[in-house]
Amino acid sequence: MPMKSVFSQDPFETTRKEWLKKAEEAKPELHQTIKQPLRVVHLTEDASSFQGWKTYGNGNIDELYSSSFKEMKETVVDFGEHLTGHFSFQVKALNGTPDAPLRFKFTFGEVPSEIAVPFEPFTGTLSRAWLQDEIITVTQIPSTITIPRRLAFRYVKIELLASSPYYDFCINSMECATTTSAVNAVEPLLPTTNNEVAAIDKIGLNTLKECMQTVYEDGPKRDQRLWIGDLYLESLANTYSYRNHNLTKRSLYLLAALSAENGFLHANVFETPEPHAQAGTHILDYALLYNVALLEYAKATGDLPTAADLWPIAKRQVEIAKEYISEEGIFDVEKAKNLWLFFDWKDSLDKQAPMQGLMIFAFNNTIELAKMVGKSDEVKDLSDLVQKMKKAARKQMFDKSLGLIVSGPNKQVSLASQIWMIMGGVLMKEEAKFTISKAASMENSVKPGSPYLYHYYVEALIKCGMAKEARKIIVTYWGGMMKKGADTFWEVYDPTNEKVSPYNFYPINSYCHAWSCTPVYFIRKYPAIFQ
């Protein structure tokens, strides 16, 4: 985290309360819908199915509700779609007098493997408590029980752990009270749209809807909070679908209000029990993308007062970023060695060249934002810095013998490096076409590891005029998830390794994740390519 070299005290001390107030005023109401399970299913191992598990069967729910669960002992129900909300069930006696409690174990899964794979021994690097299993003791029969925690799931496995020998009972009802702030009707796609593209769009819309709560959540199962990287991509998709711009406004204000004392944006923030940031989490690439998100919000809504109100926090991110630029105009890796950079779930990725390109991209967007709010004089040196950084990038990072951008001391070739230099305008159109194609085809280049970087891959392809290739990525990558049974798009997807996990345990992955919703944005923004 940078030292407070510019400010001796909190520069936003007098505005934070007002920003929090405006965030609260923009808080959307949640729309609730009651959903019931559609069928009883069974689990089976299947090597051809996603992560080796699938469900089969179409058992009758009414039959389940009228049958002895004491004899059944275990069942799996399918709600037929991904849901985010609170789960309730009812229990009643069939015969005898209830003389002792019942105890159940409920396991909720977004995908079949999540309810099939044992959670123990837990090897994950995140809290075991994120996994959606609950032991519920029912002390009064009949009764209706609502599980306190909000859940995100499609499938529910119910296991009977303990019951009395002196009475029989059934589970006679189940439902989920779902919530979302995505309530506006979405315009239909053109009738010329390919069925596969239309299906991808539908899944993307559902992914976005589930993540649109009272902030843009990164994942409704996990982490259930607002991250800047997800905010930016969700807001793009929202602009071309549900158009709930107050959610974007609220999210932008919350992040600003909860920035660190020196004005550095925290990468993520929480709403409850009161708004607060995850202390110490600063991702420089995310902080700069805040500026881009603010610009896109202003362009989508015309809400220049909000853009002007938040301009000081955007300007501060530029000031912080400039501390990591060398005299030569290169992102200084050594100075930033203790700084968190993200870009992708890919441990092997060298991030110097991607950061150089992203900085240029974000600075250009900040210049445009400054013009919109009449603050160009406050960043009057930024255009010259951008040109300096472009020239330095071409001199130090463009390998003429390869015709590629290389990154770091080992001159790593990655798609991320080509993508971000294209996004920053460092590469000319024909150069860009060559570099991104060559890096994609090279066996030893570092490829994207998540839908997050795949979004920018598609953006870069469109930017350099490769519309056919952009469409192919949407159809093959996001379409690949669809063909493997996704009804919402996943946090991590590697077509060659379905069990990959950044957390060392794939059931804890998020299978409805905000940064994966952006086919909605592409399909609807560029109808000539996708519709």
CA dihedral in degrees (459, 462, 466, 472; nearest 10)?
60
Per-block mean pLDDT, blocks of 10 residues, the chain (531 long) = 53 95 98 98 97 97 97 98 98 97 98 97 97 98 98 98 98 98 97 98 98 98 98 98 98 98 97 96 98 98 98 98 98 94 96 98 98 98 98 97 97 98 96 98 97 98 98 98 98 96 98 98 98 97
- DSSP 8-state secondary structure symbol assigned to residue 28: P
**238, 293 contact by CB (below 8 A):** no
pLDDT of residue 326: 97
pLDDT of residue 1: 43
pLDDT of residue 8: 54
**Residue in the structure block whose two tokens are 């993508």:** 419
Domains of the chain: 16-29+182-530 (1.50.10.10), 31-180 (2.60.120.260)
Greatest distance between any 2 Cα atoms in the chain: 84
| Residue of 382, 371, 380, 387 whose CA lies nearest to 425 | 387
**301, 245 contact by CB (below 8 A):** yes
pLDDT of residue 9: 78
DSSP 389-416: HHHHHHHHHEETTTTEE-BTTTTB-BHH
DSSP 462-485: HHTT-HHHHHHHIIIIIHHHHHTT
